[in-house]
């Protein structure tokens, strides 16, 4: 380790128990998108206790906040998330599917760790500034609803990153790496059809079936798939079929669509086609259609300058030490996974690193920084931030190798020692990266220049409709 990394690691280790407590409290009280009131409050209280000035309700988000320390330039944004997923309740440390609450929520993507790891980074930067006299501003952005609702898209639209020089984040994973990749832009919308009920046998001619409209829309979109770019993705779920009585013409039905494409302009155009298909389905069935916005995310803009700096610090910090209990638990989790899960976990790693990890339960090898920028077949609202300021993320080992995201296995591991070690490692990497950039502004200048080069003069625009305001949930 270099001197800066040693100082940062020591500062974060001094408060490790406090960071773990916050992570575990969020894990114990899982809250889904725009309902993360307790989770946000845990983080706000911890930041306020550390001397940060906390502003709640930013950009009209009831569970969004920003906490600031310091003044002047440079300004670094640390992005934190804390929303859970529905239907993934699970007992801590269990090696079988054991929900705590049937159909309850659970942190199936590790955002309890993400939020607390970002907290560790922000506090570590603050402590370093106080210790060394380093000037600048560190901000923790509390970003709700990453899984559904895209809180960062609202934050970006509101301009809260306007004076930020660069942004850092991370994500729990099954192996350490740097996310110098792109992602799919997306657009999520509910299509609600309103018809007219009638007796399906005695007077079917008097009815207008909303369920027919949903089915016809789905057929139309499925025919469209042949005529869209192969990198695009369109998924749907029928969330309301209008009832369970076949002898009643269904007066209401709803289908939710998630539309993805490599570029935000592409997803905007694809959504317009899906919308027209929905209009056509309504015309064919004599129903009316309403489109209700759900969420959106821009594609992620890579930044090689920040990726190189973050990878350098990932190597400097190194991997945690795992004891026999960690290894045994990871092996038990691996026993619940398929061979396909294991193969998928090595995707994106270089051949030599994948070879070293092939038979391991815990990924404890840091590979070289990849020179191949691929597009993640998923989406993140970090993309909206990356269009406005240079942004980079790292990943650290928090789960047994092979663990798929959004599963009960992730929830089970989310409050265990392996997860805590990966969370603290991420906090150290982000803090060390931020401090090195703050002490050497050339990194920031080069990162900003790269961002402008990648955007090729294209300005950021929000995919959120102008008339849509953030949801307010109790």
d(CA 473, CA 55): 19
d(CA 232, CA 95): 36
Residue with token string 């929000």: 462
Backbone angles phi, psi at 455, to 5 degrees: -75, -20
Asked whether the predicted pLDDT for residue 474 surpasses 70, the reply is: no
Residue with token string 């930020």: 164
Asked whether the predicted pLDDT for residue 472 surpasses 80, the reply is: no
Asked whether the predicted pLDDT for residue 197 surpasses 70, the reply is: yes
Burial (CB count within 10 angstroms: exposed 0-12, middle 13-18, buried 19+), residue 282: buried
pLDDT in tens, 248-282: 999 999 999 999 999 999 999 999 999 999 999 99
Question: If you average pLDDT over residues 191-216, what whole number do you get?
Answer: 97
pLDDT in tens, 418-456: 999 999 999 999 999 999 999 999 999 999 999 999 999
Strand boundaries in 324-469, DSSP class E: 375-376, 391-397
DSSP secondary structure code for residue 132 in this structure: H
H or E, element range at 79? strand 75-80
**Count, residues in the chain:** 474
- Strand order, beta sheet including 288-297: 233-240, 252-261, 185-194, 288-297
Distances (CA, A) of 107 to 39, 83, 113, 177, 393: 12, 7, 9, 21, 20
Question: What CATH number was assigned to the domain covering residues 185-297?
Answer: 3.30.70.360
Residues 6+ apart with CB under 8 A from 265: none
d(CA 8, CA 2): 10
Residue with token string 């494409």: 261
Would residue 461 be called left, alpha or beta, if left means φ above 0 and alpha means ψ between -120 and 50 degrees?
A: beta
* Predicted local distance difference test score (pLDDT) of residue 115: 98
Peptide bond into 16 cis (omega under 30): no
Number of continuous H segments (helices) and E segments (strands) in the chain = 15, 13
Asked whether the predicted pLDDT for residue 97 surpasses 80, the reply is: yes
d(CA 205, CA 199): 9
* Predicted local distance difference test score (pLDDT) of residue 28: 98
Asked whether the predicted pLDDT for residue 216 surpasses 90, the reply is: yes
Burial 28-66 (b: 16+ CB within 10 A, else e): ebbbbbbbbeebbbbbbebbeebebebeeebbebbbbbb
Q: So where are the chain's domains?
A: 3-183+299-455, 185-297
d(CA 109, CA 330): 17
Residues 6+ apart with CB under 8 A from 218: 236, 238, 255
Question: If you average pLDDT over residues 49-74, what whole number do you get?
Answer: 97
Q: What is the mean pLDDT of the chain?
A: 96
pLDDT in tens, 369-428: 988 888 888 899 999 999 999 999 999 999 999 999 999 999 999 999 999 999 999 999
Superfamily covering domain 3-183+299-455: Zn peptidases (3.40.630.10)
* Predicted local distance difference test score (pLDDT) of residue 373: 84
Least confident among 44-48, 195-199, 270-274, 470-474: 470-474
d(CA 21, CA 11): 17
Question: Would the CA dihedral through 336, 342, 344, 345 be positive or negative?
Answer: positive
Pick from 10, 147, 91, 136: nearest CA to 432:
10
- Tokens for 302, please give them: 């890579």
Pick from 126, 138, 144, 127: nearest CA to 168:
138
Backbone angles phi, psi at 407, to 5 degrees: -135, 165
Mapped onto helix, strand or coil, the DSSP state of residue 199 is strand
Strand boundaries in 226-336, DSSP class E: 233-240, 252-261, 288-297
Percent of the chain surpassing pLDDT 90: 91
Categorize the per-residue pLDDT at 344 as very low, low, confident or very high, splitting at 50, 70 and 90. confident
Distances (CA, A) of 70 to 188, 304, 436: 38, 28, 17
Residue predicted with more confidence, 170 or 4: 170
- Tokens for 334, please give them: 């691996």
Residue with token string 């989790």: 333
Asked whether the predicted pLDDT for residue 1 surpasses 80, the reply is: no
H or E, element range at 332? helix 324-334
β-pair partners for 392: 168
Helical axes 3-14 vs 417-439, angle rounded to 10°:
140
Question: Would the CA dihedral through 370, 372, 375, 377 be positive or negative?
Answer: negative
Residues 6+ apart with CB under 8 A from 339: none
DSSP string for 119-187: HHHHHHHHHHHHHH---EEEEEEE---TTTT-HHHHHHHTTTTTT-SEEEEEEEESS-EE---EE-EEE
Distances (CA, A) of 436 to 74, 306, 327, 449: 12, 11, 34, 18
Question: If you average pLDDT over residues 200-226, what whole number do you get?
Answer: 97
DSSP secondary structure code for residue 397 in this structure: E
- Ranges of H-type helices in 90-135: 111-132
């Amino acid at each position: 380790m270099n001197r800066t990394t040693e100082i940062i690691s020591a500062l974060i280790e001094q408060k490790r128990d406090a960071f773990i407590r916050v992570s575990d409290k969020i894990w114990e009280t899982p809250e889904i998108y725009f309902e993360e009131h307790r989770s946000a409050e845990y983080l706000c209280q911890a930041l306020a206790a550390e001397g940060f000035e906390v502003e709640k309700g930013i950009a009209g988000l009831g569970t969004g906040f920003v906490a600031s320390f310091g003044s002047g330039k440079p300004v670094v944004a640390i992005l934190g998330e804390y929303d859970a997923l529905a239907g993934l309740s699970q007992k801590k440390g269990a090696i079988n599917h054991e929900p705590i609450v049937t159909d309850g929520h659970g942190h199936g993507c590790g955002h309890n760790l993400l939020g607390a790891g970002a907290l560790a980074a922000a506090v570590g930067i603050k402590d370093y500034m106080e210790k060394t006299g380093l000037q600048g501003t560190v901000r923790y952005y509390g970003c709700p609803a990453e899984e559904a609702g895209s809180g960062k898209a609202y934050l970006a639209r509101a301009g809260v990153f306007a004076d930020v020089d660069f942004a850092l984040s991370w994500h729990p994973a099954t192996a350490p790496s740097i996310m110098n990749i792109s992602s799919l832009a997306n657009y999520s919308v509910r299509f609600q059809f309103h018809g007219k009920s009638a007796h399906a046998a005695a007077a079917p001619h008097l009815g207008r079936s909303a369920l027919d409209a949903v089915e016809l829309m789905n057929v139309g979109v499925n025919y469209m798939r042949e005529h869209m770019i192969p990198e695009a993705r369109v998924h749907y779920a029928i969330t309301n079929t209008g009832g369970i009585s076949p002898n009643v013409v269904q007066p209401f039905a709803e289908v939710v669509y998630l539309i993805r494409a490599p570029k935000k302009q592409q997803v905007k155009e694809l959504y317009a086609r899906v919308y027209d298909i929905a209009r056509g389905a309504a015309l064919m069935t004599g129903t009316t259609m309403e489109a209700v916005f759900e969420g959106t995310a821009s594609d992620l803009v890579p930044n090689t300058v920040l990726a190189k700096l973050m990878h350098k610090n990932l190597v400097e910090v190194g991997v945690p030490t795992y004891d026999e209990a960690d290894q045994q638990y990871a092996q038990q989790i691996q026993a619940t996974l398929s061979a396909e899960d294991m193969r998928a976990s090595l995707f994106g790693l270089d051949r030599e690193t994948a070879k070293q990890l092939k038979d391991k339960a815990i990924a404890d090898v840091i590979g070289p920084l990849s020179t191949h920028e691929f597009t993640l077949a998923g989406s993140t609202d970090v993309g909206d931030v990356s269009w406005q300021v240079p942004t980079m993320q790292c990943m650290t080992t928090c789960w047994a190798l092979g663990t798929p995201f959004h599963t009960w296995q992730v929830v089970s591991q989310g409050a265990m020692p392996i997860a805590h070690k990966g969370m603290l490692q991420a906090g150290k990497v982000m803090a060390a990266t931020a401090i090195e950039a703050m002490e050497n502004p050339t990194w920031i200048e080069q990162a900003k220049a790269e961002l402008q080069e990648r955007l090729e003069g294209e300005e950021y625009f929000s995919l959120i409709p102008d008339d849509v305001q953030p949801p307010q949930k109790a």
